[in-house]
């Protein structure tokens, strides 16, 4: 093997090694955390959204619990939930038998929901009320697993809604 070939192979190995180190460091680097939304900006955005209005308890209430930090997946869960409820239960929403709302648990007045529902991250809670008080609820935590399957997501969220509506 002549000097030129050895130099060529050495440079190729150096480039390949550098690329391998770069790829390893890139994959090992933690993903940047989503930037928190300033409280004033979030409050304005939430207040202007009709889905955020916390209505008086309807016989059945679907609540998406969120925080000040809202990643793309978090927004998608809210959107898919709202779409599933509005598409499958338009009559019940209009009649006041069902309510959809979004609650930010970072707001001090909503912090009690974290303990009540044992919330560990953003989730959808479906609850049934009778005579103005909650009598049962179910946590649809697996919405995270169904983000890329809208039909299954809707079925998963709507199942307890249908069940609770039939109980009255």
CATH number of the domain that residue 99 is part of? 3.40.30.10
- Note whether 10 and 79 are same-domain residues: no
Structural domain including 18 reads 1-30
Rounded Cα distance between 145 and 142, Å, is: 5
Q: What is the 3-state secondary structure (H, E, C) of the chain?
A: CCHHHHHHHHHHHHHHHHHHHHHHHHHHCCCCCCCCCCHHHHHHHHHHCHHHCCCCCCCEEEEEEECCCCCHHHHHHHHHHHHHHHHHCHHHHHHCCEEEEEEECCCHHHCHHHHHCCCCCCEEEEEEEECCEEEEEEECHHHHHHCCCHHHHHHHHHHHHHHHHHHC
- What percentage of the chain exceeds 70 in pLDDT? 77
Cα 57 to chain center, whole Å? 22
pLDDT at 106: 92
pLDDT at 33: 46
Tell me the per-residue pLDDT of 78-137, one tens digit each, with 9 for 90 and over.
999 999 999 999 999 999 999 999 999 999 999 999 999 999 999 999 999 998 889 999
- pTM (2 decimals)? 0.67
pLDDT at 86: 96
- Note whether 43 and 24 are same-domain residues: no
pLDDT at 40: 52
- Note whether 140 and 80 are same-domain residues: yes
């Amino acid at each position: 093997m002549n000097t030129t070939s050895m130099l060529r192979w050495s440079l190729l190995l150096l480039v390949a090694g550098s690329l391998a180190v770069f790829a390893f460091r890139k994959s090992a680097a933690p993903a940047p955390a989503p930037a928190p939304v300033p409280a004033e900006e979030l409050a304005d955005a939430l207040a202007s959204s009709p889905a955020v209005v916390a209505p008086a308890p309807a016989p059945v209430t679907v609540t998406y619990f969120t925080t000040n930090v809202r990643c793309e997946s978090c927004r998608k869960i809210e959107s898919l939930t709202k779409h599933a409820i509005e598409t499958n239960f338009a009559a019940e929403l209009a009649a006041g038998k069902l309510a959809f709302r979004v609650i930010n648990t970072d707001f001090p007045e909503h912090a009690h929901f974290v303990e009540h529902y044992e919330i560990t991250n953003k989730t959808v809670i479906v609850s049934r009320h009778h005579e103005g008080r909650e009598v049962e609820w179910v946590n649809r935590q697996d919405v995270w697993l169904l983000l890329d399957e809208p039909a299954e997501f809707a079925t998963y969220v709507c199942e307890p809604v249908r069940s609770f509506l039939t109980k009255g």
